[in-house]
Structure 1
Amino acid sequence: MTPAGHAEAVNGGDGENTITALVIAALVSGELVGDGSAVVTGVAPLDRAGPLDLSILAGARYTPMLAETKAAVVLIDPEFREAVGAPRARIFVKQPLEKLLAVLPRLYPETLPAPGVAATARIGTGAKLGDGVSLGEYAVVGPGVRLGTGVVIGAHTVVGDGAQIGDGSRLWPSVVIYPGAVLGARVNVHAGARIGSDGFGYVFKDGAHTKIPHVGRCIIGDDVEIGANATIDRGSIDDTVIGAGTKIDNLVHVAHNVRIGTRCLLMAQVGVAGSAIIGDNCVIAGQAGISGHLTIGAGARIAAQAGVFGDIPAGETWSGYPARPHRESLRASGALFKLAGMMRRLEKLLEASEAK
């Protein structure tokens, strides 16, 4: 085996899992320099690639690795044309990471479960399944559910009564879709996610916390991806809405009545409290927390572990706890780090003053 874990032998030609440098160059519209017959069967980082791997060089910090890499073919940003190294083939192309999108399906073709209903799956009264649907072992589809064409439901996944799932969507094992939730087309929900559960809503009445019935829906737009063990609550008296093209990482929580726009990115362990509104194209980094009833403007960026307690204007970058505009937050952090030294100088001044 090579260092990357691929077998040395290959199935000659451009088979399902084998591809030449010449074909790669055509797929990415890049400039090939070197051996066009060099064969790859997988991808790996420069420092761990073996002689049958494709790799990329997209940043200056990785240029020293090019001299040591064993990769057969490397996609290289033209900015690093003079970098030292001798893979069998170099392919110069802008944005090499993005260009991998054209190559990876050839090396790693996606395999979907065959259409059909497993013997242990259960389908409720009045449920409608589109053509090519696949239900895994012990999957449960409730009464009145609508599954579009080509939907894949993984093992032990539950789709609650009256839920709707659009064409080409996939629910991985142990997902729970609560009753009445609506998922668009090509939605990808990873294992353990919970979509449409009740939000955390109570009123204090007669000496006890009394639950507010949640009657709103959870609506997920087309082309949304939801990470493993993420949780998205249904609305209380309004809907919770996730806009088309938004990507939600593992362990993210979205509370009731939240509205998230299109093409947003929410990274791991982000928490969004109830009734917050997040505009289109926002990026929220890991472990950031957003308080309820706030508005985050379109295109805003929130740094990791930021604590957001007020509205953020469109297009701005905020960071820190409490979150402030990024430059202001950096200045405040810098001043805090200087505080100990300032205290020592102040103590010396006080000592000198008292000694007089």
Structure 2
Amino acid sequence: MEFTVGQIAQLLNGKVVGDEAAVIRSAAKIEEGKPGCISFLANLKYESHLYDTKSSAVLVSKDFEPKKEVSTALIYVEDSYSAFTQLLEEYQKFTQQTKRGVEQPAYLGEESTVGNDGYRGAFSYIGKKCVIGERVILHPHAHIGDNVTIGDDTVIHPGVRIYDNAVIGSHCVIFANTVIGSDGFGFAPQPDGTYKTIPQLGNVVIEDHVSIGSNTTIDCATMGSTIIRTGVKIDNLVQIAHNVEIGRNTVIAAQSGISGSSKIGENCIIAGQVGIAGHLTLANGTKVGAQSGVGKNIKKEGLSLSGSPAYELSAHLRAQALVRKFPEIEKRIQDLEISKAEAPKTGSAD
């Protein structure tokens, strides 16, 4: 499909500096742009590419000022990254064909209901007494257990397993091979050294507008619910244990793990490979750097943490700077000790 730079600017409520009539056919990274492509500049470390990109247009934020002459058309918007996301969403609406109807074989359990205009792929399974909303997409080999509720416009990708009694909200996306509602890691030690399995009787509740990446596992609660609040975004390969609660609009990157009964606040950022111990609370707005290990409650809102064990980012950076200087400090101490040993001894004459 083709759009002019002017049409795109109008869609994004932007202002054009350059050729409004230039035709856009596709999107590309700014360093890989070609004529007919649109790119964006959000991170200024890529600014050098702006001056030699072949893209026909580049989205930039409203406060950006180029340091040199630019040959491409610039579209000034409120936020270039958000605008580019919006543009891709609109393009997807035009180009992506959404499947509808029921492929065979597909199983629908007794007393289950399915809303209109949805899709059930081949070998998808819906258990008993489920309520599936309007326009829900179940890709092939998706498994929905008994007594599950799924809200409108939610997409379940191939191979997803949703266990009994789970509640999934509207406008959610769950990617391939994720498991929702399997047993939490509950075992009671016995006097003879063995472990007795603790029945996991709760469920998982996922609210609206949640995205969950591939191969992620969210365990059901021992009692009550494991809860993922509205707007949460979870990456691939994340483990969320039983009775965890994730606050609204929190994002969690790949290979992170959250132990049982911990509560993560709203608008938190959990980077990749973070480990969070059990029964902890992280305040709203907490940011945890990659490969950090959180072992205590974080009560102050908005803190940035790093390290294992994790502590405030500013202190962690100072400590790392000192660590890098340790060889120099050690040499200085050794030199002082040598100088002291070689210095002539003084004393009063008899």
State the TM-score, normalized to the length of structure 2: 0.92
Q: Offset of 1:139 from its aligned partner?
A: 0.8
Return the letter of the residue paired with 2:29. Answer: P
Return the letter of the residue paired with 1:149. Answer: E
- Confirm whether residue 340 of structure 1 aligns to residue 327 of structure 2: yes
Within a 5 Å distance, the mapping from 1:216-227 to structure 2 comes to: 216-227=202-213
Query: What do the CA deviations read for 1:311-351 (whole angstroms, capped 9, x no partner)?
Result: 11222111111101111111222222222222222233334
Q: Offset of 1:283 from its aligned partner?
A: 1.0
CA contact (8 A) 1:281 1:299 kept: yes
Q: 1:63 to 1:207 in 2, by over 3 A?
A: closer
- Confirm whether residue 190 of structure 1 aligns to residue 175 of structure 2: yes
- Confirm whether residue 240 of structure 1 aligns to residue 226 of structure 2: yes
In 2, Cα distance between the equivalents of 1:308 and 1:52?
48
Q: 1:355 to 1:82 in 2, by over 3 A?
A: closer
In 2, Cα distance between the equivalents of 1:63 and 1:303?
26
- The alignment partner of 1:97 has SS state of helix
Q: 1:202 to 1:189 in 2, by over 3 A?
A: same
- Confirm whether residue 166 of structure 1 aligns to residue 148 of structure 2: no
In 2, Cα distance between the equivalents of 1:320 and 1:207?
34
Provide the alpha-carbon RMSD of the alignment: 1.7
Q: Offset of 1:68 from its aligned partner?
A: 1.3
- The alignment partner of 2:278 has SS state of coil
- Of stretches 254-263 and 104-113 in structure 1, the one that deviates more from structure 2 is 104-113
Q: What is the match of residue 262 of structure 2?
A: 276
Query: What do the CA deviations read for 1:248-300 (whole angstroms, capped 9, x no partner)?
Result: 01111100010111111111111100000111111111111110000000111
CA contact (8 A) 2:26 2:36 kept: yes
CA contact (8 A) 1:200 1:255 kept: yes
- Confirm whether residue 21 of structure 1 aligns to residue 5 of structure 2: yes
In 1, Cα distance between the equivalents of 2:188 and 2:330?
47
- Of stretches 247-256 and 35-44 in structure 1, the one that deviates more from structure 2 is 35-44
Q: What is the match of residue 289 of structure 2?
A: 303
In 1, Cα distance between the equivalents of 2:56 and 2:98?
33
Q: Offset of 1:107 from its aligned partner?
A: 2.6
- The alignment partner of 2:221 has SS state of coil
Q: Offset of 1:84 from its aligned partner?
A: 3.1
In 1, Cα distance between the equivalents of 2:239 and 2:75?
41
Within a 5 Å distance, the mapping from 1:1-356 to structure 2 comes to: 17-109=1-93, 111=96, 113-205=98-190, 206-313=192-299, 314-355=301-342
Q: Offset of 1:86 from its aligned partner?
A: 4.0
Please, which runs of 5 or more residues in structure 2 have no aligned partner?
344-350
CA contact (8 A) 1:18 1:107 kept: no
In 1, Cα distance between the equivalents of 2:244 and 2:62?
43
Q: 1:106 to 1:315 in 2, by over 3 A?
A: closer
- Of stretches 63-72 and 220-229 in structure 1, the one that deviates more from structure 2 is 63-72
Q: Larger Rg: 1 or 2? A: 2
Query: What do the CA deviations read for 1:77-96 (whole angstroms, capped 9, x no partner)?
Result: 34433343544522122311
CA contact (8 A) 1:64 1:84 kept: no
State the TM-score, normalized to the length of structure 1: 0.91
Return the letter of the residue paired with 2:282. Answer: I
Q: Offset of 1:166 from its aligned partner?
A: 0.7
Q: Offset of 1:352 from its aligned partner?
A: 3.9
Return the letter of the residue paired with 2:325. Answer: K
Query: What do the CA deviations read for 1:131-176 (whole angstroms, capped 9, x no partner)?
Result: 1221111111111221111110111111111111111100011111
Q: 1:323 to 1:285 in 2, by over 3 A?
A: same
- The alignment partner of 1:103 has SS state of helix
Count of aligned residue pairs for this structure pair: 340
Indicate the percent of aligned positions where both proteins have the same amino acid. Answer: 36
CA contact (8 A) 1:73 1:87 kept: no
Q: Offset of 1:244 from its aligned partner?
A: 0.5
